[in-house]
A = this chain, B = another copy of it.
Amino acid sequence: MPTIYEVAAAAGVSPATVSRVFNGANVSAEKAEAVRKAAKALAFTPSRTARTLRLQSSEVIALVIPDIENPFFTALARGVEDVARAAGYSVVLCNTDEDHEKELRYLDIALSATMAGVIIAAAGGNSDLSGLLARKCPVVAVDRSPHGVDVDAVIVDNRAGGRAATQALVEQGFQRIACITGPSDVETATQRADGWRDAVTGGRAAEADDRYLRYADFRVDGGAAAMSDLLAMPEPPDAVFVANNLMSVGALRVLSEQGKLPPATGVAVFGDLPFLPLVPIPITVVHMPARHLGTTAAKLLLERINGDDQPARTIVLRNQLTPVG
């Protein structure tokens, strides 16, 4: 790796001048030309590390997500990426696997590498953003807003979505509507379950319908296990609201195995499965604007990076109910 000093020597100028050439300061035309030629000849690339150390900030933003194998989060990542790179920033993806330890490690890296900012879909429960906030590192929460800390957030109305999805099942005439949701320490999971509870109890007081509620892990196998469990009940449900996309794959798989696919069983899902709609199975889907969540979060973050310090905002995007199949 050639350095700025070698370029300077080759061009017969000082390192300061080389730096100025690359940063658009006042340099005479001849020297600028000489520097550019020397730089090309040496295949010089300025060291980002040195630059970051000196400037105490880089043009990299960290995107911290809990499950890289979930298409929802990858679509969201694309949204973040599009906006970020248009503004000259690079995005590095960090997969926490819903694990607080991994999450903390990545946040630590973001901080000690003085990244420009962090967009985070927090792993379950109480993510520790105190380090970032104490150092005034710009943070935007997306999809899930971490417990108790006051940061910009871009979310959807999980309760309303859960309610609408469940309501659709009610209107289709199903009687015993179960709910498979995510970990009880993940906000989106409990809120979607709340929406389900709203709809099944209707105006009436809540009965003991939590018999039909299952907490799983937002993953395929968890959804399958919960579905099996529900179907094994003495009085099994005749419909199910599944609180995320991956779990619905597991649930449908089990229903398929037991010959109870829709329309025999009512199914409503929170979130899209981009690779699902091959075959006409009549299910209800609450569409998640994944990419928009990402672009919006990225825009907020860029504003913060550029010095905006108004009080934290929460942006709630709409999600649409669409029957599929």
Contacts and interface: CB of A to CB of B under 8 A. Distances in A.
B261 A249 contact: no
Contact of A43 (B102, B114, B134): B134
Contacts of A220: 274-275
Interface in A86-106: 90, 92-95, 102, 105-106
Q: Chain A: interface residue count, which band?
A: 35 or more
A43 B78 contact: no
A147 B46 CA distance: 27
Contact of A109 (B48, B50, B108, B249): B48
Contacts of A111: 1, 45
Nearest to A62: B92
Nearest to A46: B112
Given A90-B105, A92-B94, A49 B1 contact: no
A317 B81 CA distance: 32
A1 B111 CA distance: 9
Interface in A47-101: 47-50, 52-53, 58, 60, 68-69, 71, 74-75, 77-78, 81, 85, 90, 92-95
Given A71-B71, A81-B95, A48 B278 contact: no
Given A77-B68, A274-B220, A278-B253, A53 B47 contact: yes
Contacts of A49: 49, 52-53, 58, 112-114
A95 B106 CA distance: 19
A256 interface: yes
B68 A93 contact: yes
Given A77-B95, A112-B47, A276-B278, A90 B69 contact: no
A90 to B, nearest CB: 6
Q: How many chain copies?
A: 2
A34 interface: no
A105 B1 CA distance: 17
Interface in A245-270: 246, 249, 252-253, 256, 261
A106 B60 CA distance: 11
A131 interface: yes
A105 to B, nearest CB: 7
A273 B69 CA distance: 12
Interface in A109-154: 109, 111-114, 131, 134-135
Contacts of A43: 131, 134
Contacts of A60: 109
16 contacts: A48-B109, A49-B52, A49-B114, A68-B74, A68-B78, A68-B93, A69-B78, A77-B95, A81-B95, A85-B102, A93-B93, A93-B95, A220-B274, A252-B278, A261-B279, A279-B281
Given A43-B131, A90-B109, 11 more contacts: A1-B112, A45-B111, A47-B53, A47-B114, A49-B49, A81-B95, A92-B92, A249-B278, A252-B278, A253-B278, A275-B275
